[in-house]
Amino acid sequence: MSIPSFGVGTFRLDGQVAIDSVRNALDVGYRAIDTAQIYNNEAEVGQAIAESGVKRDELFITTKIWLDNYAHDKLIPSLKESLAKLRTDYVDLTLIHWPAPGNGISVTEFMTALADAKAQGLTQQIGISNFNIELTQQAIDVVGKQAIATNQIELSPYLQNPKLVAFLKQQGIHITSYMTLAYGNVLKDKVINAIAKRHQATPAQVTLAWALRLGYSVIPSSTKRENLASNLQASQLQLTDEDMAQIAALERNGRLVSPDGLAPKWDD
């Protein structure tokens, strides 16, 4: 199973805002939804899906295991709770949210538990999120590179992660980009705005099209229906080689997310 190139994210969305965002996303054509245990919105996502009328087999649902549930005896029970909240018998993809190298649970333990969850049919695919090269290799050593569907990492024109990206491509592990718009910072970038003007597109569309052309999946979020619909049009935007080169030159190692205790030592 391949991972959809375009999905909707739900980070920092809760309550009715989360319900409305997912409902609007499904209504304008999204079929992939990304959530996580720590977002505390799985129930809202499940409600929006149930009320949308979209068939389950048309959807691709991703959730992520939080570090409190990494122990082998906790991971599967926690995933079953997530499924109950999401009102589904399975998710399409389950990720380890952060490697949390100091939390006392080994990569071997949580990857084995994740593989067991897949064997039980609770998740169709498994993967990782925010793993550096060293920890990705450790995960590969446990379950094999073919079993790791994706590494979901922070990627934007300002943070292009060349070493990690090259390693993941070498291993055949798909890349999912989050924070692709860098909290909106890239939308003010002069280079990206100039490219957008040339293509009669929005800066967000240009940035998402850049990531898509590099082969990444993207999961932008929005509380506004018009932005959700506009973002989705990025899949139709064809950037030129010159456009891509100009965006590549924006790299500045501009990482925005690196929580203490959760993040690894990055491959900068």
Strand pairing class (174-178; 217-218): parallel
- Token pair for 87: 């009102």
State yes or no: is 39 an active-site residue. Answer: yes
Give the contacts of 151 (CB within 8 A, at least 6 positions apart).
Answer: 127, 128, 129, 131, 136, 164, 168, 173, 174, 175, 176
97 among annotated binding-site residues: yes
What is the rounded CA–CA span in Å between residue 202 and residue 231?
9
Give the contacts of 61 (CB within 8 A, at least 6 positions apart).
Answer: 32, 33, 35, 45, 49, 86, 88, 91, 92, 93
Contact assessment for residue 39 and residue 28, using Cβ atoms and an 8 Å cutoff: no
Give the contacts of 218 (CB within 8 A, at least 6 positions apart).
Answer: 5, 6, 7, 176, 177, 180, 208, 211, 212, 234
| Residue 209 DSSP label | H
Phi, psi of 186, rounded to the nearest 5 degrees: -70, -15
Measured at the CA of 239, the angle between CA 203 and CA 93, to 5 degrees, comes to 75
- Token pair for 234: 């990025």
Set 39, 70, 178, 216: catalytic member = 39
What is the rounded CA–CA span in Å between residue 4 and residue 213?
14
3-state secondary structure string, 164-191? HHHHHHHHCCEEEEECCCHHHHHHHCHH
Can you say which residues are annotated as belonging to the binding site for substrate? 97
Active site residues: 39
